[in-house]
Structures are given as C-alpha cells and as structure tokens.
A and B are shown apart, each in its own frame.
Chain A
Amino acid sequence: MTSRIAVTGLGLVTPIGAGRQEVWEGLLAGRSGFAPVESFDTKAFTTHLGAEVRGFAPAPWVRRLEAAALGRASQLAIAAARMALEDAGLDPEAVAPERAGVAMGTTSGEPREVERFDDRFLAGELEKVGAEFISLYPCHMIAAHVARELGFAGPNTMIPTACAAGNYAIANAMDLLRAGRADVMLAGGADAFSRITYTGFHRLGAIAPERCQPFDRNRKGMIPGEGAAVLVLEPLERARKRGARIYAELAGYGLSCDAHHMTAAHPEGEGAARAMERALADAGAAPEEVSYISAHGTGTPTNDRLEVLAVKRVFGEAARRTPMSSIKSMIGHTMGAASAIEAAVCALAVAEDRIPPTMNLEEPEEELDFVPNAARSHPVRLAMNNAYAFGGNNASVLLRKAGT
C-alpha cells in the first residue's frame, strides 16, 4: 500500500486572479476580490457585494470540449485542472487514462442552470427547456467534464458536501491513491456565483455589507464568491521518480458530523474538534506540531466563535502560539471551492514558509494569532486546513513539508 501522497501541481481560479503565482502573490499582498455583483441584479437585496471571478475566459483551457456547452463551474474546474497539470509538468496525454482519476467537491453544482429553468418556468416558457438542463445541471457533471476534457478514465468522484466539499474530495483522492486505485488524481472543488446561494445567505442575514472581517469583534458576515482549485496528487515515490516539484505531502485527514443543526454549527464546536483530532491522529501528529491553521473563517459571528472554541479545545495552550488565518477575508466564501483553494494555499505555505494574512482585522475578538493584515514569513512544517459546512459536516486536512 502506498501511504505517502504528494501534492505536485496547483491550479486556481479565484476572485483575485488565476494561476498559482497570481493568486499566491495576491493573497500575500492582501488583495481584495470584493465588488458589486454583476452576474445578476441585486436591486431587491440589502447587500450588493460579491466575490465574482471577473474576466474569466475559458477558451485557453477548454480545448477538447466546447466551452459554450459547459456550465460555468465546469469551465472554472477545467481551467483549474489544466493549470494544475501544467504546474505539475504532467502531460495528460502521457498518463495512462484508466489510472488517472478526478475527485471534485461542490456546494451547488451548476446553479445557473436551475436558475435558467426557473426563469423559463416563471415566464411561461418551459418549452424552451432543452436537453442542456440535464446534460449540464447535475453536479456530477463538474468532475465528468474535467475527465472528458482530459480523457481521464479512472475513478471519478463528485462530492457535494457543501462548503467542506473540497476537503472531502482531497481526502477521497488520497484514499484512492493509497488503495492503489489510481496513479494520479486531480482533486479539488468548484462553484459558480449564484443567485440562489446569494438569496439564501442574504435571507439568513449572513452577508456582510462592505467587507469580510473574520475573527474581528465587529464582523458582519461572509461574502459569497466563486472559483475553483485543483491539486495534482500522486504517490510520493512516483512523484520523486519523475523529478516532480513537491509542494507538500498530504499527511492525513479527519471527517465528522455535528448531527446537530442544518445551518448552524454545534454550540461547543464538538464535531469540528473531532475532525481536527482525527486528522492529527491520522497523521500521527500532536497539536503542537501544527505550524499554521487555515481557518474556515467565514466572517459570520457564529462560525468564527465556534471555530475558535474548537481550536482551543484541540490545541489547548498551543492555540495561542499557532498562526491561524482566513483568506476568505480577501476572496470571500467560494463555497465548494473554498477548502480546495485553501488546501492549495496550505501547500504553498508549507513549500514557501509564508503565511497569508487575515485582512480587515481591527479588533480581534480573541487573543489568538490571526496573522492580522500582513503576510508573515514563518516556518510551516505542518498545516491544517479546516472546513465546515451545512449539514454539520466538518473536514480537516493536514499537509506536511515534503520528506519530513
């Protein structure tokens, strides 16, 4: 059994740019991806900001398939997948197709397709609904489209576990590689900006009017976003043999469920703590060994409070010393893509010993090290990527410096 899995390629499409270099530099510089929503009219809403991906052209990335015949989340996912493969120096044609798989996470799949259906329904134009609704809308089409674009015929998993989905997909890819069911896995998440998602969080009063301020006493909520990230994962030995650059190793993961409430976290962060503990046990690591925590950190009052509670519970005294930041302060909450983007960021933090900041942090609610407002150079041997989701889902993934 192959137990050690390497991260060898990173592809990202985010509200602050695309590609590993641009996104990483943007995050270290504290760049903001928030702007008035353009993809639909927000006149009827009390908030207007979103974190959309602007100026995205699928053409250079979508080569084998027809870009216009794909939903937006699939386009974003394919772009991230192609970027990740290029970053890994892997030619998709050179990989045995049946040994190459795809595992993707999402919250909503292709919500714009059901929105189009609804527009037609309300306009009395259902006769216009064509074959594309079923060929584009089901969320499994994201992973299917990535595989079709690249010709990958190995395991193909779509995990719609909402805002923790990226971590679930990475964990699944890790298991498939360890079980010897694939030689290369593309793992990540994708979500498209959506009226439905925006309406829902708006209705819950969860959207911040001006900016996203995770862990700040005066935080006013999250800002919905969109994006995609894909990580190239392969067995460490195989990666070394082909001389690949190794950003990090996947050290372990832990999953749990609160079994408490659909949209609110457990009041004592019980499930979140169990996921972290399980990930640490899986990696054979003690809490003190964690050098960076990539927080779920949405900026909603409840999430952040419970997340801090859970971290304190697991880390005890070490909680104060462990840097923990939320990049959602810059790119918003990219839903099913979020934890995949954050996992890529953890891989970069491990590779470069740099930690991106929590921006807009003026009055920290707790005495923890939230890496306020400026990136930091810091040795990162082990990074923990935390993600929480509707349904009470918790997922923690650990990334370790290669060869340590």
Chain B
Amino acid sequence: MGRPVVITGAGAISAVADSPAKLHAELCAGRSGLKAVELFSTEGIGCHQAGEIRPFEPRDYLGERNLRPIDRTSRLMLVAAGQALEEAGWTAEVLAEREAGLVLGTTFCSVHTIAEFDRRGLQLGPSYASPFDFANSVINAAAGQAAIWFGLRGLNSTISAGAASGLAALGYAVGHIRAGRAAALLAGGAEELCFESFLGHYRAGRLCGSRGGAGEVPVPFHARRNGFALAEGAALVLLEDAEAAAGRSARVLAEVLGHGSAFDPLGTEESGAGAVARAVRLALEDAELEPGDLDCLSASASGGVETDRREALGVAAALGGRAADLPVTAVKSMTGEAMGASGGLQVVDLLGTFADGPDGGRLSGIPGLDEVEPGFPLGGLSSATRPVRVRRALVTALSADGHAAALVLGAPGGSG
C-alpha cells in the first residue's frame, strides 16, 4: 500500500464560509449558503438559487499582487490553497527550498472565461481576443496559476470527473505520495459559478426545479428533492508523506487511510449504485477496514434525483448492516453542488469534526430533510446536528456521468 499519508493543512471558501473553521461551525449551526443568484441574470430560467460566494473580494485574501490575469475559479483556488499552505507551515521560504505539487479537481475550470474569449473573437475579430483569457482557457489554468503564485514546482495535475473531481484528485495525489513520487501535494478542487454552467445544468435537468415539481428542493435524500443548487468554491488539503510531516513536526489534522474509485458505464440505477458500492469497498479494502470500523459518512448527496438514490443504494450495499445506523451528513444541503470543489469541502468539514475532539465531535445535519425518500436504506439521516465520536470517516462522491469515488479518513493519532 506504500507510504502513509497525512493531512497537515486545509483551506476552503464556499457560499457558507471563507475558512475551514468557519465552514464546520456554520454547517453545524445549520446555516445555508444558498441564496438568489446575483452574479448573472436568471431571467427565463426556472431556477434562481445557488451557492454563490457573495461578497467575494479577492483582495481581502490575496493582497496587492496583480489579479487581472486571474479569473474567478483561479482566485477562489488561490484563497483555499493559501490557507492550506499557511496552516501546514509551507511558507514561501520553505517552498523555495522544498518541492510541493498540486492536484486540482475541476469540471470546467472556467467555462465562462473560455466562452468570453470565443465570443470576443467572434464579435470583434480574432486579433481582439484576449491573450490573458486564452491562457486561462485551458482546463488546467487554475492549477497553473496557483503553481506560479505560490511557487509549486512539483507535479501539477488537474483531474476532471464532475462532482467526483475533488475526491478523484485526492485519490490521485495519495497514490503519488504512497509511491514516493511526491512528499507534499495540495489536493482538492475548485469551481466557479457562472451563467454558462448554470444554464447548461438547468437545461440538462440537473438544477433544482428544472424538471418541475413543487418549487426548488435541493435537499439531499429528500422525498421531494428535484435537483441540486449549483454552487462555487474551492477546497484543498495539504497531503504529506507521514514520515516527512513527522520529521518537520507538522501538526496532523487527519490520516488518509484508503481510497477507491469505479465507473458506471451503463447508466442504470443498478449499475450506478454498483459503481458506488465498488468504490466504497475498494476504499475499505485499501484501508484494511470493515464497515463496522466506520463512525460516519459524508455523502455526496446534493438533491440530485438519480444520483442521491444511487448513492444511498450503493453505500448501503457496501456497508451492509452498518448502513442502518451510520450517522450521515450531506454538506451540499448548505454549500450547494460546487462540482470540483465539493469533495474538498466534504473533507475539510470532516477535519472540523476531528478537531472538535474525540468527545466533542459534531456532525452537521441536513437542514430541510423533513421527509426522507421512502425505502432509502440509510438510517443515520438527520436534519439536526448531532454529537458524534468519530475516529474513522467515509467520504463518497459521485458524478451524474458515472464516476464514483470514496475516501476513508482517520482522526489524527493513529486510529488506523
């Protein structure tokens, strides 16, 4: 299985909060970041809410350096990356001496930047297209911008898997550290909210309210859920080789015990649930743990009509009897579906649960969950925040296109 991997820093910005500590506190207080979109007009679209980060003043976080060539996704990404590096003690001086890398999960990076670049060229002629925008039109732009900003000279990769991008990026990064190919990697994801993505997801029938039903119900696992609330954000953790982290006396926030992934090539409920079950089983096998060793689940559920059901069925198939009482949280009930950023947000929230301490752990509830879909095999769903004792946590993520990923985290201090 290779070298043990630990988390030594975290960063997160979302519609809920602009730091990891605030994220966990706000989620536990049940405060949602979903609101009416102001970033662009939703006129003519039958969905109006999203997890928009508002206000977002990049200067408040990023200081006086030139932000002009850096788009919204990259700015969010820089905020989260900066927090994670700072918490882990990877200062500019350390980064000049030692190599750190980055694995970023994102679906689009910035489809808005790409589209604006194209439209400007069409309207004014190709010589008026913006070279800055072109540089950001590649899907790895945010990862490249962060590498330049912080001086990350190690492996720099970008992974796309829709709402599973963040966990997929974490799994990829863990593989590199275990194999001894890297000692320190920022991993997680980023995604911006923009008109192009919003309209597209609406027309694809994925946003809350886009298929009719009463109002907008982006409530995970709810009987009347009718799609997710699209969102934005960035969330990253600093993954380190455990030995190297110990060598520099770094504070460990969590251990990464295992990861797994699978794909559903058929697109049916059964095959979709099957992919989730396989990802979870692979992660447990990788961690050398049994379902009974888990203390909670941070689910991918977003209010998606099909995806929530597949996740519930798949997780239950993998966990057997443990699914009946395993406490479950679903942060997208408050953050919205932030796509590439989602997996990172789930993980960062769990770091908060670990930090609450073994006796004071809190697991956020799922606000608005007053009616679970009948027959769902997950018994540990609650609309209210609960006290929990968490030593090992399971995180799951799935995309609407068939990607499933799972990660097992352990509380710091040798729980594994």
Contacts and interface: CB of A to CB of B under 8 A. Distances in A.
A263 B117 CA distance: 16
A89 interface: no
- Count chain B CB atoms within 10 A of each CB in A121, A134, A154, A390 and give the residue with the most: A134
Interface in A382-396: 389-393
Given A122-B123, A134-B203, A392 B156 contact: yes
A151 B402 CA distance: 12
A177 to B, nearest CB: 12
A257 B126 contact: no
Contacts of A153: 262-265, 271, 274-275, 278
A131 B401 contact: no
Contact of B265 (A97, A131, A168, A389): A97
Contact of A260 (B136, B141, B148, B168): B148
Given A140-B403, A144-B263, A160 B139 contact: yes
Contact of B151 (A134, A202, A259): A259
Contacts, number: 235
A161 B140 contact: yes
B175 A175 contact: yes
Contacts of B156: 161, 255-257, 259, 391-393
Nearest to B142: A391
A152 B265 contact: yes
A122 B203 contact: no
B115 A117 contact: yes
Contact of B157 (A106, A115, A255): A255
B153 interface: yes
Interface in B94-121: 101-102, 107-109, 111, 114-115, 117-119, 121
Interface string B189-209: 000000010011101111000
Interface string A98-109: 100110001111
Nearest to B178: A179
A34 interface: no
B73 to A, nearest CB: 13
- Count chain B CB atoms within 10 A of each CB in A102, A111, A152, A199 and give the residue with the most: A199
Given A390-B140, A393-B144, A159 B115 contact: no
A179 B117 CA distance: 41
Contacts of B137: 108, 196, 200
Given A114-B196, A159-B157, A262 B135 contact: yes
A102 B157 CA distance: 17
B161 A154 contact: no
A257 B265 contact: no
Contact of A162 (B131, B140, B401): B140
A150 interface: yes
A74 to B, nearest CB: 12
A199 B117 contact: yes
A391 B175 CA distance: 22
A200 B113 CA distance: 12
A117 B196 contact: yes
Interface string A169-193: 0001001101101000000000000
Interface in A347-384: none
A158 B159 contact: yes
Nearest to A200: B134
B204 A134 contact: yes
B127 interface: yes
Contacts of A147: 263, 265, 402
A215 interface: no
A44 interface: yes
Interface residues on B, range: 35 or more
B42 interface: no
B399 interface: yes
Contact of B175 (A159, A179, A196): A179
B145 interface: yes
Contacts of B111: 114, 137
Interface in A224-267: 255-263
Contacts of A162: 138-140
Contacts of B179: 175, 178-179
A203 B126 contact: yes
B125 interface: yes
Given A138-B401, A175-B179, A262-B135, A160 B140 contact: yes
B276 to A, nearest CB: 12
A260 B271 CA distance: 44
B143 interface: yes
A199 B118 contact: yes
Nearest to A278: B181
A158 B160 contact: yes
Interface in B249-276: 261-267, 271, 274-275
Contacts of A121: 115, 119
A257 B123 contact: no
A129 interface: yes
Contacts of B131: 200, 203-204, 263
B118 A259 contact: no
A202 B126 contact: yes
B158 interface: yes
B126 A199 contact: yes
B118 A115 contact: yes
B162 A131 contact: no
B266 to A, nearest CB: 7
Interface in B334-387: none
B138 to A, nearest CB: 5
A271 B204 contact: no
Contact of A255 (B119, B152, B155): B155
Contacts of A262: 69, 135-136, 141, 144-145, 148
29 contacts: A107-B138, A107-B139, A114-B115, A117-B115, A121-B119, A122-B122, A133-B200, A134-B200, A138-B160, A140-B165, A140-B399, A147-B263, A148-B267, A150-B265, A160-B138, A175-B179, A195-B118, A200-B137, A258-B153, A262-B136, A389-B138, A389-B140, A390-B135, A390-B141, A391-B138, A391-B144, A392-B144, A392-B156, A393-B144
Interface of B: 69, 101-102, 107-109, 111, 114-115, 117-119, 121-123, 125-127, 129-131, 134-141, 143-145, 147-148, 150-162, 165, 168, 172, 175-176, 179, 196, 199-201, 203-206, 261-267, 271, 274-275, 278, 282, 399, 401-403
Give the 6 A-B residue pairs with the shortest CB-CB distance, closest first.
A391-B144, A160-B139, A200-B134, A257-B156, A156-B263, A134-B204
Given A118-B115, A159-B157, 6 more contacts: A134-B203, A147-B263, A153-B264, A204-B131, A391-B140, A391-B144
